[in-house]
Amino acid sequence: MSEETWLAARLIPTSGINGAEEQERRATSALLAVMSAVREFGRALTQPYGAPAGTVQTFIEVPFKLGDKQYFPDGLIRVTRGQRQWTALVEVKTGSNQLATEQLERYLDIAREQGFDAVITISNEIPPIPGQHPTPVDKRKLRKVSLHHLPWTEILTAAVMQKEYRGVADPDQAWILGELIRYLEHPRSGAMEFSDMGPAWVPTREAISAGTLRPGDKVVPEVAGRFDALVRYAGLKLGRQLGTEVMPALTRREVSEPATRTQALGTQLASVGTMTAGLKIPGAVGPLQVTADLRAGKVTCHVDVEAPREGRPTTRVNWLVRQLKEAPDNVRIEAFTMHARGPGKAELLGAVRTEPTILIGDTAKELRSFRIAMTYPAGTKRGTGRGSFIDSLLGAIDDFYAQVIQNLKPWMPAAPRLRSPDDPKPVEPVPASLVSTAISSQDGPQSEGSDLSQARIEDQVSTQVDNRDTPVDV
């Protein structure tokens, strides 16, 4: 028998998973075990929720009594450092299973009675905004116990970043973390990728085409929330490849009041048929903005770049074109001038390479910034695969970053140069008020010979200016 058919032994095997219950139990046990075994990984997942940097202990299916009934949360995490302890209950869902409000509120009550700090939920649900929980619960139950959510995609991203970029001190622990990554990436693990735009996707597209969609329709907030969740998933996926944390570009108000973001996006979708979001990439020249146009069936990515603050307009355009030497000719560039309103002059990169002045309207106006954009066809299907909206948007973001953003650098002014002893000294005029013979405010009215006196003063000033660098014998 050929060895090519042999299956390698794995620390966390995917074989033998029968049903959702077994899938959930194995995923929970594997994750919590690796959190306690790999110190850096356990710290990365618990530190954002207030846990100290200490020893991580994990347990599964711990029994607790609430009233007359006994309940078994999927897991428990305890972090100890000195006299301080931080404890959290864990509830896990895999596949398409969703969290239930009643179950979470029950675990919040158990955590409060036991004096625990938090309840952490894990599922494939991705909230549109980081820190937001996908399941609504009674706010009164959160007074003493905090509630947090971790999508499986975010856990996989944290594991990859810790192993490949931040590092694990112990080689054996690094191998263990690698086994968890292999397990979570396997389709049978139940840690699915973003794979569905939701049941409201098709009715919304049809209403946009017919011109009947209104901001108050029930499908609008659902589609807007799924779009933001998809963009957040795209950021997590891109962050795994870059080894950095890519976050949604949101205002402070949108972070503190997520409903305002969903409402604004729904209004935009109903009025013009588009949805816009952004991603903040550390070290990038600017946020990556993505716009999905459901009417035109297109996805547009763009980034805004500040123009240099010196040089002629043509020099500033050439500065940008040189950085885009590897970009395709169909990249669109738009140039904006100082104090101008409305759109600027726009041309494709291929034309700008041939004639840079094509972006310059009025040479007397100073160029302020550039917008670089690329447009891609958008799929229509709600799921994944060929012709799907999800894959077309993910591909557009990855391609635009690779073709454009990673090659752009912001303009920096040249550093000031030290003066050389051979450099000629600049001649600066000496104000008459600084010359000792100038008329002061204490002098009286000029005499009849004031014209002659003034001429003598001007001669003295001229002589002092000419001889100010002449050495004087002492």
pLDDT per residue as tens digits for the range 219-257: 999 999 999 999 999 999 999 899 888 999 999 888 888
Whether 446 shows a pLDDT value over 70: the answer reads no
| Rama region for 82: left / alpha / beta (φ>0; ψ in -120 to 50; rest) | left
Domain extent, residue 276, equals 201-407
Whether 66 shows a pLDDT value over 70: the answer reads yes
Task: Please state, in angstroms and rounded to a whole number, the distance separating the CA atoms of residues 422 and 198.
Answer: 74
Domain annotation covers residue 449: no
Q: For residue 460, give every residue at least 6 positions away whose Cβ sits within 8 Å of its Cβ, in sequence order, or none.
A: 435, 437
| Rama region for 385: left / alpha / beta (φ>0; ψ in -120 to 50; rest) | left
Per DSSP, helices labelled H in 47-83 are none
Tell me: do 146 and 242 sit in the same domain.
Answer: no
Domain boundary among 407, 441, 469: 407
Tell me: do 72 and 139 sit in the same domain.
Answer: yes
Confidence of residue 4 (pLDDT cuts 50, 70, 90): low
Task: Please state, in angstroms and rounded to a whole number, the distance separating the CA atoms of residues 405 and 279.
Answer: 12
The amino acid at 373: A
Region 422-426: mean pLDDT is 68
Confidence of residue 467 (pLDDT cuts 50, 70, 90): very low
Tell me: do 150 and 219 sit in the same domain.
Answer: no
Q: Residues 315-326: pLDDT tens digits?
A: 999 999 999 999
Domain boundary among 161, 189, 217: 189
Domain annotation covers residue 274: yes
- Split into its structural domains, the chain has a count of 2
Whether 165 shows a pLDDT value over 90: the answer reads no
Tell me: do 181 and 207 sit in the same domain.
Answer: no
Tell me: do 206 and 177 sit in the same domain.
Answer: no
Tell me: do 185 and 212 sit in the same domain.
Answer: no
Domain annotation covers residue 252: yes
Confidence of residue 158 (pLDDT cuts 50, 70, 90): very high
Confidence of residue 3 (pLDDT cuts 50, 70, 90): low
Confidence of residue 345 (pLDDT cuts 50, 70, 90): confident
Domain annotation covers residue 431: no
* pLDDT attached to residue 105: 95
Confidence of residue 178 (pLDDT cuts 50, 70, 90): very high
* pLDDT attached to residue 224: 92
Domain annotation covers residue 380: yes
Confidence of residue 433 (pLDDT cuts 50, 70, 90): low
- Structural tokens at position 356: 């840079």
Q: Residues 283-342: pLDDT tens digits?
A: 999 999 999 999 999 999 999 999 998 888 899 999 999 999 999 999 999 999 887 777
Residue 223 near residue 273, CB atoms below 8 Å: no
Angle between helices 39-46 and 19-37 (to 10 degrees): 110
* Report field, pTM of the whole predicted structure over 0.75: yes
Longest distance between any two alpha carbons in the chain, whole Å:
125
Domain annotation covers residue 462: no
Return mean pLDDT, the chain: 86
Whether 67 shows a pLDDT value over 80: the answer reads yes
Tell me: do 252 and 322 sit in the same domain.
Answer: yes
Tell me: do 213 and 316 sit in the same domain.
Answer: yes
Tell me: do 41 and 157 sit in the same domain.
Answer: yes
Tell me: do 210 and 176 sit in the same domain.
Answer: no
Domain annotation covers residue 323: yes
* pLDDT attached to residue 50: 93
Whether 369 shows a pLDDT value over 80: the answer reads yes
* pLDDT attached to residue 465: 41
Domain boundary among 189, 212, 235: 189
